[in-house]
C-alpha cells in the first residue's frame, strides 16, 4: 500500500505550479481528481507546445501522471451538485487560481464546511488571498523579478536574469503539498478542516533566506557575482577549465586545504591573506584570478578526477541531456516510463520524494473527463439514468469538437 492511498484530493488546478504540487502526492498514492472546466477545454497545460497534439502534450504528461480527470462546470447547478457530492467524500479541495477567485466560486472552507467539516481547502495563488495584490495574477517570471531573485542572478555587468527553470512555481507547489499534508493531519486529529492560504509571492520571499536575514539585520546588500560565485564563501563558484566548466565548492576549511594540495599550491593555503573564510572573502579579488589561471590549465575530466579523489565538492556544468544521462541519475531511478496513446512510451523524470518502498508503477496523465464513469458510479454511487445524463453532455461535446476540426 502506498503512503497516501487513503487521501482524496479534488484539484481545481492547471498549468504548472498547482499540478506540480499534487503530482508528488499522486505518485505517493493519493487519489488526485482533476476538476476540468469543459467550457474552456480543461487544463491549459494540455495545449502547451512543442510536443502537443489535440488535448495531449508532454508538458501536461509530466505534471499530471497518476491523476484522474472529470469535466465539471462549477457555474452550472448540475456541475455544482456533482462537485459538492465529491467534497463530501474527499479530504482536500486544492486550487491554483487568482487570490480572489476561490471565494468567488465558492471553494473556501466557509463555503464547503457544511458539506464536510473536515475538508481542507488549499489555495495556491500568485499573491495570496489577502493583501493589496490579492486580485493580481501571479506568474513565475514576474515573481522572480518582484522577489529580488533576478536582481542577484547573472553576471555583474549583465542584465537581471531569471532562473532557467520555473523555480517559484515548483517551490510553491511543494509548499502547497506540505500544507495539504499538514492540513489533513490536523483535520483527522481535530475533526475540523481549514483554509490553507499559500502564495507564490510568499514562497519566493521566504526563499531569500540568508541574504534576507543579512539585509534585515545589517548593511548587507546582495549583488550579482562573477561566475555564479557564492555571496560570502571563497572559493565557491564556477571555473573554466581548458575545455569546459566545473563548479568547485569550499564551504569548510578542510576543503580549502585539500584544494591547495590538489592544485599543488600549498602556499595559497598557508598565505595569511587566504587563511580563513573572512580572509578569502576580503581578498577574493586577488585569489580568484590565481585560481582561474590554475583551473584553465587542465581539462574538466582531469580536474574532476583529482578533486573527487581528494574529497573536494565539485561537479561538471552539465547540459540537460548530460544531466539526464548521468550515471547517478540512472542509478537513482530518476527517469521513469509511462505508456501514452498518442506519444507511445514516454520517458520522464520522477518525483524525488521517497517514503518507504520506492514507487515502481506510473500511470499516464488522464485524457480529459476520462474517469467520469468511475467517479459517478464507484465514488458517488449515482444511478444509471443520472450517469447517462451527465456523460451524454460530454459525449456531445466531443462529437461537436470532432465536427469542427
pLDDT in tens, 242-263: 999 999 999 999 999 999 999 9
169 classed as catalytic: yes
**Fold of the CATH domain 8-206+331-370:** Rossmann fold (3.40.50)
C-alpha cell of residue 300: 574538466
Minimum mean pLDDT range among 163-167, 183-187, 318-322, 392-396: 392-396
Choose the catalytic residue: 43, 56, 140, 169: 169
C-alpha cell of residue 404: 469542427
130-191-183 Cα angle (round to 5): 45
What's the CA gap between 166 and 311, in Å, rounded? 32
Percent of the chain with pLDDT over 70: 97
Percent of the chain with pLDDT over 90: 94
- Give the pLDDT band of residue 398 (cuts 50, 70, 90): very low
Residue, of 357 and 5, whose pLDDT is higher: 5
Question: Looking at residue 394, what is its pLDDT?
Answer: 61
Bridge partners, residue 345, by sequence: 339
C-alpha cell of residue 12: 481545481
Task: Determine the average pLDDT of the residues in 207-229.
Answer: 95
- Give the pLDDT band of residue 360 (cuts 50, 70, 90): confident
Which residues touch 384 (CB under 8 Å, ≥6 apart)? none
- Give the pLDDT band of residue 57 (cuts 50, 70, 90): very high
CATH of 227-240+245-316, one of 3.40.50.10490, 3.40.50.11740, 3.30.1540.10, 3.40.50.2020: 3.30.1540.10
Q: Where are the domains of the chain?
A: 8-206+331-370, 227-240+245-316
Return phi, psi of residue 355, to 5°.
-130, 110
Amino acid at each position: 500500500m502506498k503512503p497516501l492511498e487513503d487521501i482524496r484530493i479534488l484539484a481545481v488546478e492547471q498549468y504548472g505550479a498547482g499540478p506540480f504540487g499534487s503530482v508528488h502526492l499522486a505518485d505517493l498514492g493519493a487519489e488526485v481528481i482533476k476538476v476540468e472546466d469543459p467550457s474552456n477545454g480543461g487544463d491549459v497545460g494540455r495545449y502547451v507546445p512543442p510536443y502537443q497534439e489535440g488535448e495531449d502534450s508532454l508538458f501536461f504528461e509530466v505534471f499530471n501522471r497518476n491523476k484522474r480527470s472529470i469535466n465539471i462546470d462549477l457555474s452550472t447547478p448540475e456541475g455544482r451538485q456533482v462537485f459538492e457530492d465529491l467534497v463530501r467524500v474527499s479530504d482536500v479541495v486544492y486550487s491554483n487560481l487568482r487570490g480572489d477567485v476561490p471565494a468567488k466560486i465558492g471553494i473556501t472552507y466557509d463555503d464547503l464546511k457544511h458539506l464536510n467539516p473536515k475538508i481542507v481547502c488549499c489555495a495556491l495563488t500568485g499573491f495570496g488571498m489577502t493583501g493589496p495584490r490579492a486580485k493580481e495574477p501571479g506568474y513565475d517570471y514576474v515573481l522572480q523579478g518582484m522577489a529580488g531573485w533576478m536582481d542577484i542572478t547573472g553576471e555583474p555587468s549583465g542584465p537581471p536574469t531569471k532562473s532557467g527553470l520555473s523555480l517559484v512555481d515548483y517551490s510553491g507547489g511543494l509548499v502547497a503539498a506540505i500544507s495539504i499534508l499538514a492540513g489533513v493531519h490536523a483535520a483527522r486529529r481535530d475533526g475540523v478542516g481549514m483554509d490553507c492560504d499559500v502564495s507564490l509571492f510568499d514562497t519566493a520571499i521566504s526563499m531569500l533566506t540568508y541574504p534576507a536575514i543579512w539585509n534585515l539585520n545589517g548593511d548587507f546588500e546582495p549583488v550579482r557575482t562573477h561566475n555564479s560565485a557564492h555571496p560570502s564563501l571563497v572559493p565557491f563558484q564556477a571555473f573554466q577549465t581548458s575545455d569546459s566548466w566545473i563548479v568547485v565548492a569550499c564551504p569548510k576549511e578542510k576543503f580549502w586545504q585539500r584544494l591547495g594540495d590538489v592544485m599543488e599550491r600549498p602556499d595559497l593555503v598557508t598565505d595569511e591573506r587566504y587563511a580563513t573564510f573572512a580572509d578569502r572573502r576580503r581578498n577574493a579579488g586577488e585569489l580568484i584570478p590565481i585560481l582561474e589561471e590554475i583551473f584553465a590549465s587542465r581539462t574538466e575530466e582531469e580536474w574532476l578526477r583529482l578533486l573527487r579523489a581528494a574529497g573536494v565538492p565539485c561537479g561538471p556544468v552539465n547540459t540537460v541531456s548530460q544531466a539526464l544521462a548521468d550515471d547517478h541519475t540512472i542509478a537513482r531511478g530518476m527517469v521513469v516510463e509511462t505508456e501514452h496513446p498518442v506519444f507511445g512510451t514516454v520517458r520522464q523524470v520522477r518525483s524525488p520524494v521517497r517514503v518507504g518502498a520506492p514507487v515502481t508503477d506510473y500511470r499516464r496523465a488522464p485524457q480529459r473527463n476520462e474517469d467520469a464513469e468511475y467517479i459517478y458510479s464507484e465514488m458517488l454511487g449515482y444511478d444509471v439514468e443520472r450517469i447517462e445524463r451527465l456523460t451524454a453532455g460530454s459525449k456531445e461535446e466531443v462529437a461537436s469538437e470532432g465536427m469542427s476540426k
